[in-house]
Amino acid sequence: MAETICRALRDGAMEGEHAPALTIKDTINTPLGSFVFNHMLTQLTSNILAGKSQSRGIVLVALSRPPSFYAEVLKNKGFDVSSSSKWLRVLDCYSDPLGWKNKLIESGTIRNPYEETVLKTSLCKNLKELDEVLSSIVELGKEIVEEGKGRFAVAIDSVSEILRHSSLPSVARILSHLRSHDQVSCIFCLLHVDLHEAKVASTLEYLSTMHADVEPIVQRTNEQRSTSEDLPMMEQCFKRGKFHVRFKRRNGRVRVMREELYVEGSGIKFTEVSSVDGLTAQSLVPKVQFNLELSEKERLDRAKVVLPFEHQGTGKPIQIYDGRKSLNESETEEKQASVEKPQTTEDSGRGEIIYFRDSDDEMPDSDEDPDDDLDI
């Protein structure tokens, strides 16, 4: 399913339609959104380098991580960062989003605060002017693609940072402007949902064709941010999460899919949803000092234990009295009766209870009330 997303981003915009947009959302309980973002970034990069994708390159708007971080991410995935200027431009909104460093240089307080990186970056010194940001994104994109033809992808990490400086309507305007731009192939962005009001997430969902939610494996029942109670659970939340994706088709149909993701070595892996697998189940059992598991030998020993109320048999067929004489029992009794007949005539003074069952339909020892049909 993560593959489906990557394919949609790779295929890009269709003729006469807006560019597909993906919003990746996470919360502080499972802060794995940036992993998903990096995954999408590297997948799209490899598609671009293989010439499979519609877009020729990526414009990365770096807001919450420095450009050097992305250089490291790409290098770890085995991409040649030194030649990245052919397919990657970074709009650096991280180093100096408000122009403070610029002001400090002008006043002579500091000398050179900017970090150098191998990626080709362009510095944004005023994040509050979103129109300028927009035009620099488009400009950087045009640098990658040849004039007039070709499309580029836009990656924004993260929208939450832009929203701190600008209002929701202006951010929405920028995003829809980018989507409708005829040289944009696709957009994907990251959003930390719990930093904003609920309406922010829904506004961005309206503007995107796919949204991927990273959710905790098990939702906590109490909404309190108390931590000390479920430590194993918390530890899991930093490694694993549910990946919940909604695709919006053109005709309005929505397809929902679920996967699980876990952080591993140098990236993330997506797996089919398993209802309860061993690791989660184990982590859900509270850590106690008793051993709740049985070894194979203990299991066999347990199977051998004879319960005191169980019919032991000891070689003979097990007979359970059900109120009727069983077939072979009645045979032996008949023989006995023929033998003992003279005795009974002698002993006629003894009383006995004779019970005839009404019919065979009646279940022996049935629970039903015998006086049920009484009409009083």
Partner 1 sequence: MPTGKKKRKKSLRGMDNSLLEEAVGIADNRGRVVVVVEDCVETSGAFVLHHFLKRSLHPDSSDVVVFIAFAHPFSHYDRILRKMGCNLTVQRKNQRFLFLDMLTLECPDRNEREAREDGLLALYGEIEKAVEIYSSLEGSRTITIMIDDVSLMEVAANGSSNHVLDFLHYCYSLKEKYGCSFVTLNHEDIYSSANTLPLILQPEYLADVIIKAEPLATGLASDVHGQLTVLNKGSACDLGGSSSKVRNFHFRVKENNVDYFYPGTRT
* Residue ranges binding partner 1 (CB under 8 A): 28, 31, 34-35, 64, 66, 68-69, 72-73, 76, 94-98, 100-101, 103-104, 107, 109-111, 113-115, 160, 164-165, 192, 194-195, 197, 225-229, 231-232, 234-235, 238-239, 262-268
Judged by CB, which is closer to partner 1: 274, or 332? 274
| Strands 240-248, 254-264: pairing kind | antiparallel
Q: Nearest distance from residue 38's CB to partner 1, in Å? A: 8
Judged by CB, which is closer to partner 1: 13, or 189? 189
Nearest alpha-carbon partner for 210 in 17, 2, 11, 23: 23
Residue type, 237: C
Q: Nearest distance from residue 314's CB to partner 1, in Å? A: 52
Q: How far apart are CA 228 and CA 234, in angstroms?
A: 9
Q: Nearest distance from residue 68's CB to partner 1, in Å? A: 6
Judged by CB, which is closer to partner 1: 161, or 205? 161
Element (H, E) at 21: strand 21-26
Judged by CB, which is closer to partner 1: 12, or 99? 99
Q: How far apart are CA 56 and CA 152, in angstroms?
A: 5
Q: Nearest distance from residue 164's CB to partner 1, in Å? A: 6
CA 9 to chain centre: 20
Q: Nearest distance from residue 239's CB to partner 1, in Å? A: 5
Judged by CB, which is closer to partner 1: 103, or 255? 103
**Alpha helices, DSSP H, located in the chain:** 2-11, 33-49, 67-76, 100-106, 130-144, 159-165, 168-180, 198-206, 231-237, 278-284, 296-304, 327-346
Q: Nearest distance from residue 19's CB to partner 1, in Å? A: 28
Which residues, other chains included, contact 71 with Cβ-Cβ below 8 Å and sequence gap of 6+? 81, 84, 117, 118, 119
Judged by CB, which is closer to partner 1: 25, or 151? 25
Judged by CB, which is closer to partner 1: 278, or 313? 278
Q: Nearest distance from residue 111's CB to partner 1, in Å? A: 7
| Strands 210-215, 21-26: pairing kind | parallel
CA 310 to chain centre: 48
265: left (phi over 0), alpha (psi -120 to 50) or beta: left
Q: What is the CA radius of gyration of the chain?
A: 37
Q: Nearest distance from residue 238's CB to partner 1, in Å? A: 4
What six digits make up the tokens of 169?
Answer: 């309507």
Judged by CB, which is closer to partner 1: 12, or 31? 31
